[in-house]
A and B are shown apart, each in its own frame.
Chain A
Amino acid sequence: MESLTSPVKAAHPEGTAYGTVLDAEVALRFSTLDAEYEAIRERAALLDLSGERIIELSGGDAVDFAQKVLARDVEYLTAERCMTSLVLAEDGTVVDQVVVWGREDGLLLESSAGAGTRLLEHLRAHAEDGVEITDRTEEYALFGLEGPYAWGVVGRLIDGELAALPFESVVDSQWDGVDILFARTGVTGEYGYKVLVPRESAERLWTKALEHAVPAGQEAVELAMLEVRQPVVRHEAGEGVDVLEMGAGWLVDITKDEFLGRDAVVAAFEGTAERRTVGFSGGTEVPAPGTPVTVGGEKIGEVVHAVHSIGLKSALGLLRLPPDLAAAGLRITVGDTEVVTLTSPYVTPKSWSTPII
């Protein structure tokens, strides 16, 4: 399968820095990380989500199949709701984290950036009669808006009535005479929206949206996600790590009778976890994954993933520690640096105190 590239690449600002995330080429930065981060946290940022695959499940048994492959319950997901769920392998390891869009005749699965090919292969490997799995990525473009004033952009760009939709609502709407699918979502703790637009109109919408919002690349988005402890699977799902150790228990529903990976998740819930994930900040050096975590010289765990947080003006990351030490407010050592463990969110989003007018 070909690597994904953005259908609106030609309309990206000059000097955009690209990188490869799994099977996709994505815009890492359109301008500078600082400017893009500032747009997400203070104003409104425009996201090009072309690195995510859009996979349609249709046919009479689409919902049953989705119930099998998704770790959360989508039996009553209507055409006006969406939700986030993990997709697990039989052994409980994470295949991907997806947004599930309810549709009248099936569902759409939106992969995480670059993980679409792996997701598609997993789905096809478990395919059954009665369900059609269709990669619709080439037919659409997916854009996001995030920021404390993203609602204002929705008003100016599409329709003010859509801005105050309840979280995880989906609406079939129109933009400039084109059918679009619109959702209230959000991954950075700020007001968030997504627009799925037919590919032929993608560049027009992108260009128009640029008049109202600052484009933000993958780096700024993932930083802002980490700051509110929104999981980015490819950074967090290490080998042999189960969903509880990841801290992603909220993305599975073990009260559901059956789904792929359920036995492993149930075993994890019933067992004694050896590790838990907790956030930390401190120092200016960003430690590499695997950097040892010590207390009094004794190794107690390691770094999962870390970045430089613009919001905190220091390194910010996740640690895997023994469960009794995975608590907030502990002073420990990462590499050679003193850090402190944190409760999430690590940065308080401005949207929490910004009403939609």
Chain B
Amino acid sequence: MALRPVVITGVGVICAAGRDPEEFWARLTAGAGGITAVEDERFAAFEARFAGQVPDEWIDAQLPAEDTGLDRTARLALVAARQAVTWAGLGADLPGDRFGLVLGKCQATPTAAGGYQPMHATGDVVAGKLGMTGPRILVSTACAAGGNAVGLAKDKVLTGEADVVLAGGVDPLLFGTYAGFAGLHALSNRPCGPYSRSDGLNLGEGAAFLVVEALDHALARGAEPLAEVAGYGLSADAYHATAPDPTGRGGITAMRRALTDAGLDPDAVDYVNGHGTGTPANDSMEKKVMRAVFGERAPQVPTSSIKSFVGHTLGAAGAVEAVASVLALRTATAPPTIGFTDEAIAESTLDFVPNTARPLPMDVVVSNNYAFGGNNASLVLRRPGGLREYDDLPAAEVVLTGLGPVTGLGTGIAEVAEAVANGRTAVGTEPSLEGRTFAPRSLWRHMNNLSRMAIAASRLAWEDAGLKLPRAALDNVGVIFATAAGSVESTGGFDESVLANPNKPAVLSFSNVVLNATGGAVCQTLGLRGPTTTICNGNASASIALDCAVETIRAGKADVVIVVAADEAPRPGDGTQVDPYDRNSGEAPASASVALVVESAAHAAARGATPYARVLSSAHASAGAGDERSLVERAIAALPTEGVDLVVGAATGGATDEAEASAVLGAVPSARLTATAGLTGDAGAATGALNLALAALALRDGVAPAITRLDDPRAGTVESYVTKPELPATPAKALVLSAAPGSVRGGTLLGAV
């Protein structure tokens, strides 16, 4: 099956090796590295003091005055994003709602004033400045995020949700992260030597973007395709929080999946842009990947690491390297790996293109990235072909077969269903995991709270689905993790340790600071190695993750995907009650994790499973010029809502509830509205997943979460809401809303089985 060809029509990059693609490529091909000693006095605390830094003037000289007050992350991103859009020749004629953004980011980054901002904030700034109101996704698979973003962008073009998607990654150099890597003894004391000295990495910073669109769309508007996004592959090591699986299994699988997705043999690959961090664990693992995938041909496949020029730019790395891969294809030149001595060249067992760029006609390039959490991403790019016939993405029926809530209300769907039916609430109550370990004790002992909740939720959902799969099948079970903020416990613990003494960071916490750590822990504990990624779009993360799961199943990349959402309350509950949509409601944070087993209907039927609900369709809208209500309306308008009799909303008790309620009552007047935040409080991404889970339960059992104390609704009358659990009739169709207010609003339609 040949799907619609998707191409790259513009690139932008800013990093230590250059302020734009031209300078970047000139330095790469000249073998001129950009890694320098860190000037910032604070870094004097560390023995290793080299990094790939971007001078401020490179950034500011490319920004209009109005943007110079933005935080560094946003400024880096805007520079590269605008370059890519300009290169692609995108004009005002591209409708904003057909223009999407997939941004990869590894670190939670500070605002201009200091203090963390939401993970998706940088994406909102870029999208706002560039007028993008199409799909908006923040992917955070640590150091694989940038490459992952290009793959997800392709998916959004294939589903037809967007005509053009800007995909990329950004990360600034942060002191805390530097301390963490130093604490792991992962830093080299000089400019790094990937594949040669392999004595550690240098951190870097930067941003890179690629304009991704359908080939036919590009040609129709007269754009020049630079490269085709032939395929991508994701995998989970299911091995360790920070160390790569030494056998290279995860990396091998990602590359093989990417080549399969591209319909290509390993023999077709002309050049590999490696991950090449320069740590001994990475470099030796990567050599194994090369040997396993290419066999005897491995020494003849040129492989280079541009991290030798720019350092490891974390969430930006995959995107920076994808840009380098596009330029390599376009100029028929393999960039070198610098830092080789003559002796190292003589000892090399593979062709790492040492020190000097090489003219190399190429048709197919693979770019690989491997990350903390055991996330691997491979991207296959090739020289663009001409217009050709293609098939639409197949429409596979997808169902929800297992629910695993871990909430203050109860642990497991039986307890939670009982609580819902009896109208019990437990706002801000910590979930209880007493009485059972959900993982081998040796792992459980060292896990943070977020991972424990997510693993418990995943295992409960798995058991609820009645899944019993042989080992080989587990290798293809996907895991999509959704979180707004990751582990509050680990982030706080790590930051405190760095503040106390940067040379004694809490390294165990550091490995859990990356947002995808918990997803990786789920994969490791349940032994799942299918496609995996992590989505961080606030409370809309779970519905976006469900979209990714459905696309993974539609594309035939998995039959079973676990969507697991988890977030922690930043402060303990104080007794505040939440009555969604009520003018007098308070808001209360909560900790929870909720997992959903998402499965192709055919797979579920073949094993005799009874699903809770079918996933009918979904839509997400991103903020633009309009107000919050119009954002909800846009999301709902894209969905066939006739026949919907239940709406489970994203309300959390705050003022934005009004926008949602007004929009729903106007657009779906026949339905009754409710929300789960009244039961548990606002558990971030997990509330989004709980809404999906309890809507699915309502479709099966006719019992829905009730807002029992609703007196003074912000919109409509009390009759428009679900005020007691027992529904008059079991609904046939439910609309589940999700919200990262001011950023993304979504709707997912579920149908009874």
Contact = CB atoms under 8 A, between A and B. Distances in A.
A329 to B, nearest CB: 29
A232 interface: no
A78 B441 contact: no
A340 to B, nearest CB: 34
A3 B193 CA distance: 58
A164 B440 contact: no
Contacts of A78: 471, 527
A101 B284 CA distance: 28
B288 interface: yes
A78 B477 CA distance: 15
B525 A76 contact: yes
Interface string B239-275: 1100001111000000000000000000000000000
A75 B440 contact: yes
Given A73-B440, A80-B471, A166-B239, A161 B527 contact: no
B291 to A, nearest CB: 8
B441 A73 contact: yes
Interface string B506-534: 00000000000000000001010000000
B256 to A, nearest CB: 14
B433 interface: no
A253 B246 contact: no
A355 B239 CA distance: 20
Contact of A104 (B284, B288, B441, B470): B470
Interface size class of B (residues with CB under 8 A): 10 to 19
Contacts of B246: 164-166, 356
A77 interface: yes
A80 B527 contact: yes
A79 interface: yes
Nearest to A78: B527
Contacts of B288: 161, 164
Interface string B347-374: 0000000000000000000000000000
B419 interface: no
Given A80-B471, A161-B288, A165-B247, A255 B441 contact: yes
Contact of B440 (A77, A79, A165): A77
A170 B555 CA distance: 32
Interface string B412-440: 00000000000000000000000001011
B441 A164 contact: no
A162 B247 CA distance: 7
Interface string B449-493: 000000000000000000000110000000000000000000000
B292 interface: yes
A172 B471 CA distance: 10
A75 B463 CA distance: 14
Interface string A145-176: 00000000000000001101110000010000
A166 B245 contact: yes
Contact of B471 (A77, A79, A164, A255): A79
A355 B284 CA distance: 10
B92 to A, nearest CB: 54
A165 B240 CA distance: 13
Nearest to A164: B246
A104 B471 CA distance: 7
Given A104-B470, A104-B471, A166-B239, A76 B245 contact: no
Nearest to A253: B441
Interface in B280-300: 284, 288, 292
Interface in A319-357: 355-356
B293 to A, nearest CB: 12
A164 B247 contact: yes
A161 B292 contact: yes
A79 B245 CA distance: 17
Contacts of A166: 239-240, 245-247
B521 to A, nearest CB: 13
B240 to A, nearest CB: 8
Interface string A75-87: 1111110000000
Contacts of A164: 246-247, 288
Contacts of B470: 104
Nearest to B287: A357
Contact of B439 (A76, A162, A172): A76
Contacts of A75: 437, 440
A325 to B, nearest CB: 32
Nearest to B240: A166
Interface in B211-248: 239-240, 245-248
A111 to B, nearest CB: 23
A20 B443 CA distance: 40
Contacts of B245: 166
Nearest to B439: A76
Contacts of A104: 470-471
24 contacts: A73-B437, A73-B441, A75-B437, A76-B439, A76-B525, A77-B440, A78-B527, A80-B527, A104-B471, A161-B247, A161-B248, A164-B247, A164-B288, A165-B246, A165-B247, A166-B240, A166-B245, A166-B246, A166-B247, A172-B471, A253-B441, A255-B441, A256-B441, A355-B284
Closest 5 CB pairs of A and B: A164-B246, A76-B440, A79-B471, A78-B527, A73-B441
Given A78-B527, A166-B246, A255-B441, 4 more contacts: A73-B437, A80-B471, A104-B470, A165-B247
